[in-house]
Structure formats: structure tokens, C-alpha cells
Structure 1
Amino acid sequence: MIYPIVVYGDPVLKREADEIEEGSIDVIKLKDDMFETMYEASGIGLAAPQIGKSLRMFVVDGSPLEEEGMENFKKVFINPEIVWEEGEKWNFEEGCLSIPGIREEISRHAKLRINYLDENFVEHEEEFDGMKARIIQHEYDHIDGILFTDYLTPFKKRVLKGKLNNISKGKCDADYKIKIPSKK
């Protein structure tokens, strides 16, 4: 099932997500739906809050980047915890399916170690670097209620305020189905 992508302004994107207890939901179905949704939107990562589910889960697939080492980088992260981040921070222009049409330079650590459960609730602890680390950090931020725009300077946020307000009203170009925040 392909879900609409929740866009900027929806409270689910700013909330710390809940841990998943084994057996509480069908994580295999959710994983499959998340990958299908991510591929439909031409993404390389997708966190559960981006489909309106406040759960500590995200999926990644770096193969569309066509970089060495990314062809087999397809994973599911459930209840992840970044153990450490290190290395010189490096800038890279990031985008987000929940913030269509905006890309900005973001500085992130070069390496990380992460502890997580896979879709079979098997525990893993692995180290990642470079683009893999960046994708994980971006998606991990989503389950902590952080968007890449939160890292921008106050000046840059003011410059983008109009565009972000338009996204929250559905006035944006996305070639995938989006869910506009409900008006209260």
C-alpha cells in the first residue's frame, strides 16, 4: 500500500516517535508499505512519521544514488539508537520528501554507530560512514521530531518561511501523493 507523504506543518513530524513492541503491529507489512511508498516518491529513505505513524522505524535504500557501496544498502531500522557519531562534519545538500522543492546544505558527522532491530526483531549494532551515515542521521532525526530545516540558521529559516508555509498549505510541487496538515 502506498501512503501519502505527510508534509511540513503536520505535528506528527515534530513529535518524538514511540518505540515498537514486538508483536504490537505487523512490521513486515509496514516495512513493505514504507519501501513501496518511498520508491513511488523516488526517495532513498523514509521514516514512519512521514506516513503519519509516530513509530520509531525507518527504511533506507541507497541504490538509486549509484555510488560505490550503496548498491546493497537497503535496510530496516526499528527502535534505533545512535550509540555515537564522530568524524569531521561535512556539508551536503539534503532534501526531504516531507519538504518538497527545498534543498539545503546540512552539516553532519562522517561516521556513526547505531543499535537497531531489523524487521524480524533481531538486534544489530553497526558502524556506517559517508553517505550511509548521512541517510541514517536524516531518517533518525525524523523519529526524534527533527527536520533538516531545524539545522538552518535563523536567517535561512526566515528566507524559507514563505515556501514552508506554502508547503504546509499544500501549495507545492510533488510528483507523489501528499497529506496536507489538517486545519484546526
Structure 2
Amino acid sequence: MTIRPIVRYPDLRLALPARPVTTFDDGLRALAIDLLDTMRAAPGIGITAPHIGVPLRVVVLELDAKTGAQTYINPRIEWASPEMILHKEGSVSMPGVNDEVQRHARVRISYQDLDGATQTEESDGLRAVCHQHEIDQLDGMFWIQRLSRLKRERLVKKFEKMSRNSQVS
């Protein structure tokens, strides 16, 4: 089990688009396991390779024990419903703060599995929100960019204050 350090907001690496994965090997499998271990320790329900400073298009989600963890390589949104939902979001890179973000209620994504085989998945609700959130991160868009300027500024100030207070303790 390897828990890697998480890149914290406002690290500029979170604003960089991740590179596509082209090599499907044991190194990629090890990265997926490290992501899962790091996400569980954070704790969180989703993480991308850029969250640990690796600029590759890799996402791990674990929304419940029943379905278990799933790894998505090079995911892309192929279709999004016109219906929108509000869902409270946060990030392992900005722990302790969250806010409601408007997202598509349903999406269809294409991705590759750990062997490189192309897959598609349709999702709704929380899973659809997570796909959009993590694909945004792979594209270099941190989730707070989806908030109004006022909400974003308040949230950043709250996070900065929490970070200062935790360093003092």
C-alpha cells in the first residue's frame, strides 16, 4: 500500500491538462493502486493522477462498497443530458470545503480499462457528477472554477484560513 502526497490547491499543476495514457503496463496498474490507496486515506470518493502530481489521464472512483473501485483511463464525455442537477462537491486537493455545483444529470463516457480496451459507461446522479468533476480536473479545470466569482473567493478564503489554523496547531 502506497499513499502518495496529494497536490494541494492552489498548486499550478492542478491547472494543467493531463496527457493521454499510451502505455498500458504494470506501471499503470501500480499507479491505479496508489491512487486508490491515496484516495481512501484522504478520504475521498474520486481522485485523478494529477491530484498526486502525475500528469496522466487516469481516474479512480469508489462510490460504494457494492460496486467497488473503478479505474478510467483517458475518459471523455461523449454525451451529456440537457437536464441539470446541483450537487455538493469538494476535492482531496482542497479538503474541508465544499459547495454546490451545477452539472449534467446524466452522461455517457468512453474510456479505456487498465488493459487498454475501449469501454463506454452511462451514468446518472452522483456517478455522473463524479465523471464530470474528474474529467474537468484532467482538463486542468479545478472544480471551484465552476462557481461564481463571489462563491469561489469566499471558499478560497475559508480554505486559506483553515490551512493557516491547521499549521498553527
The verdict on a shared fold, with TM-score over 0.5 as the criterion, is yes
Stretches of structure 2 that go unaligned for 5 or more consecutive residues are none
Larger relative helix fraction: 2
Q: State whether residues 5 and 97 of structure 1, in contact with CA within 8 Å, keep that contact through their aligned partners in structure 2.
A: yes
Larger RCO: 1 or 2 (CA < 8 Å, sep 6+): 1
Aligned pair in 2 of structure 1 residues 53, 161: CA closer, same or farther (>3 Å)? same
* Identical columns (%): 34
The equivalent residue for 1:53 is 54
Q: How does 1:161-180 map onto structure 2 within 5 Å?
A: 161-165=156-160, 170-171=163-164, 173=166
The Cα shift of 1:158 comes to 2.6
Contact 1:100–1:172 (8 Å) recurs in 2: no
Letter in 2 for 1:171: R
1:16 corresponds to:
17
1:105 and 1:172 mapped to 2: Cα distance?
25
State how many pairs are aligned. 166
Q: Determine helix, strand or coil for the equivalent of 2:107.
A: strand
In structure 1, runs of 5+ residues without a counterpart are 65-70, 175-184
Structure 2 letter corresponding to 1:10: D
2:114 aligned with 1:116, yes or no?
Answer: no
Moved more, 28-37 or 156-165: 156-165
Superposition RMSD in Å: 2.0
Q: Does the aligned pair in 1 maintain the 2:59–2:71 contact within 8 Å?
A: yes
In structure 2, distance between residues paired with 1:155 and 1:23: 42
* Normalised TM-score (structure 1): 0.83
Corresponding residue for residue 86 of structure 1: 81
TM-score (norm 2): 0.90
